[in-house]
A and B are shown apart, each in its own frame.
Chain A
Amino acid sequence: MSERLRHLGDEELGATLARLGEDVDYPATPDLAAAVAERLERERVRPLGRRWWSLTSRGRALAVAALALVLVMAGSLVASPTLRRAVADALGVLGIRIEMVEQSPEVVLGTGLRLGQPVTLEEAQARVDFVLVPEVLGEPDEVYLATVDGVESVTLLYSARPGLPESTHTGAGLLVTQFRGTFETDLAVKEIAPGTRLEPIDVDGRPGHWIEGDPHVIVYRDRRGAIREDLTRLAGNVLLSERGEITIRLEGALARSTAVRIAGSLR
């Protein structure tokens, strides 16, 4: 009865707990050693400290300097072992690609800075009904339209300028991408590289996410339930926020407060 337990001193209660611990029927321990060794061999990782993902200065000459993976999955996705396996395999595949990058950049992620079809702002506004422009920055230097998995997206590109440090060798300072679709609100992050962090933050009263650290790929589920992949193109941070049904991504070598301010000024 609990009565007896309640009156036990620390030592006796501890002993009871230890016996309980011994009696727990654990499932058999899986052979993790083989799985771990296999993954490490596949990725041909060397633990060179926190920056091991980074390629050397040669990597910076490419559109995407280094990869870390941040997997963003809705609660329901995490429950699917099949998806988890698929994603784990994708990690391994991407790991191999990192190695190949130094020889043939085109193979990398297939995107480089490919943002879609260059258009004028007016054209973009005519074609899609949701183009928002950050008032504090004014009109973008370049605008791109793309359709990915049937979803139209608009990317505004702002060149590097005071306050918007250059993120890659191409001179781009900030990318503002918008598309119809939202992240599920209950996000979980599976952090792969130690250098990448995701935090939920408030953007103008709406829920958003701040992702800091190495360039990364986000895998997420859109409102239609489809799995999508989203790759960062600049070496910098990402702010994700929402306006109704539109998801907005700000990407650049920005401080968080700057990004929030810019996002807050979207009209």
Chain B
Amino acid sequence: MEGRPLEDEELVERARKGDVGAYEQLVRRHQEGAFRIAYLIAGATGDAEDAAQEAFIKAYRSLDGFRRGGSFRAWLLAIVANEARNRVRSASRRAGLALRASRIRPSGDAAPSPEEAALAASERDALLAALAALREGDRIVILYRYFLGLDEGEMAEALGVARGTVKSRLSRALARLRKALPAEEPQEAST
């Protein structure tokens, strides 16, 4: 069995018994997702790093509270999101700044025409602005699903709701996102 990477569940079991090395492996496996959700919520790299690190520490101390058979990733991300949110409030910073600040790389297709590039860029700006304008609850649902790629089951765990609720929450969030899109400027050249 050497070389087979241990499943999250096995690592959690070992960590529960005090095996810090096992927990370190878990952290390594999940640190990218944790850091990224923290970054998306808290905005600044330093805060994101602090939030993610604190969340990992808290998670270790609360391992007994983690339900066997559940998704460790989802459980962890919810803890990270909470830590990141606390930091946004405490710094009196509006959530969503991270999204505005993030640089967007152009999609790696064959070079788009200037018009296509401008269109794509302005659509992205519009989407980001709309995301930033959403209420926290709606935004986190979208971030979980589309930015972090959580599936329905994981989302249910991260949000602490039933699966059916996830679908409707997502649908409502998308509806509100559409509404939040910036209104069209009047004199727009359309071709």
Tell me the bound Cα distance from A27 to B87 in angstroms.
Answer: 18
Residues of A within 8 A of B49 (CB): 30, 32
Tell me the bound Cα distance from A190 to B87 in angstroms.
Answer: 9
Tell me the bound Cα distance from A189 to B107 in angstroms.
Answer: 41
Nearest Cβ on chain A to B161's Cβ, whole angstroms: 18
Residues of A within 8 A of B183 (CB): 2
Contact status of A25 and B63, CB under 8 A, knowing A5-B123, A40-B20, A75-B90: no
Contact status of A26 and B36, CB under 8 A, knowing A20-B128, A33-B24, A193-B61: yes
Residues of B within 8 A of A267 (CB): none
Mark A33-66 against chain B: 1 for CB-CB distance below 8 A, else 0. Answer: 1111101110001111110100000000000000
Residues of B within 8 A of A37 (CB): 20-21, 23-24, 27
Nearest Cβ on chain A to B45's Cβ, whole angstroms: 5
| Minimum CB distance partner of B36 in chain A | A26
Tell me whether A47 and B62 are in contact (CB under 8 A). yes
Tell me whether B52 and A25 are in contact (CB under 8 A). no
Tell me the bound Cα distance from A18 to B124 in angstroms.
Answer: 12
Q: Does A200 contact B (CB under 8 A)?
A: no
Residues of A within 8 A of B27 (CB): 32-33, 36-37
Residues of A within 8 A of B87 (CB): 78
Tell me whether B171 and A194 are in contact (CB under 8 A). no
Partner-contacting stretch, out of A9-17, A133-141, A147-155, A233-241: A9-17
Q: Does A186 contact B (CB under 8 A)?
A: yes
Q: Does B184 contact A (CB under 8 A)?
A: yes
Chain A residues touching B, range: 35 or more
Tell me the bound Cα distance from A10 to B45 in angstroms.
Answer: 31
Nearest Cβ on chain B to A260's Cβ, whole angstroms: 25
Mark A177-190 against chain B: 1 for CB-CB distance below 8 A, else 0. Answer: 00000000010111
Residues of B within 8 A of A194 (CB): 58, 61-62
Tell me whether B86 and A190 are in contact (CB under 8 A). yes
The residue that B104 contacts in the complex, of A16, A17, A25, A41, with Cβ under 8 A, is A25
Residues of B within 8 A of A35 (CB): 53
Tell me whether A1 and B122 are in contact (CB under 8 A). yes
The residue that B61 contacts in the complex, of A8, A13, A20, A52, with Cβ under 8 A, is A52
Residues of A within 8 A of B145 (CB): 14
| Minimum CB distance partner of A194 in chain B | B62
Residues of B within 8 A of A32 (CB): 27, 31, 34-35, 49, 52-53, 56
Inter-chain contact total with CB atoms closer than 8 Å: 152
Q: Does B60 contact A (CB under 8 A)?
A: yes
Tell me the bound Cα distance from A14 to B147 in angstroms.
Answer: 10
Mark B38-76 against chain A: 1 for CB-CB distance below 8 A, else 0. Answer: 011000011011101110111011111100000000000
Contact status of A24 and B104, CB under 8 A, knowing A33-B31, A188-B90: yes
Mark A71-84 against chain B: 1 for CB-CB distance below 8 A, else 0. Answer: 00101001101001
Contact status of A75 and B91, CB under 8 A, knowing A20-B127, A39-B57: yes
Chain B residues within 8 Å of A, Cβ to Cβ:
15-16, 18, 20-21, 23-25, 27-28, 31-32, 34-36, 39-40, 45-46, 48-50, 52-54, 56-58, 60-65, 86-87, 89-92, 99, 102-105, 107, 119, 122-124, 126-128, 142, 145-149, 170-171, 174, 177-178, 181-184, 188
Give 17 pairs: A residue, B residue, CB < 8 Å, sorted on A.
A1-B184, A2-B123, A2-B184, A6-B181, A8-B178, A14-B145, A20-B124, A23-B124, A25-B102, A26-B36, A29-B32, A29-B35, A34-B24, A35-B53, A37-B24, A45-B60, A73-B90
| 11 further A-B pairs in the complex, CB-CB below 8 A; given A50-B64, A75-B91 | A6-B181, A10-B170, A20-B124, A20-B146, A24-B104, A25-B103, A26-B35, A32-B34, A36-B60, A189-B86, A191-B58
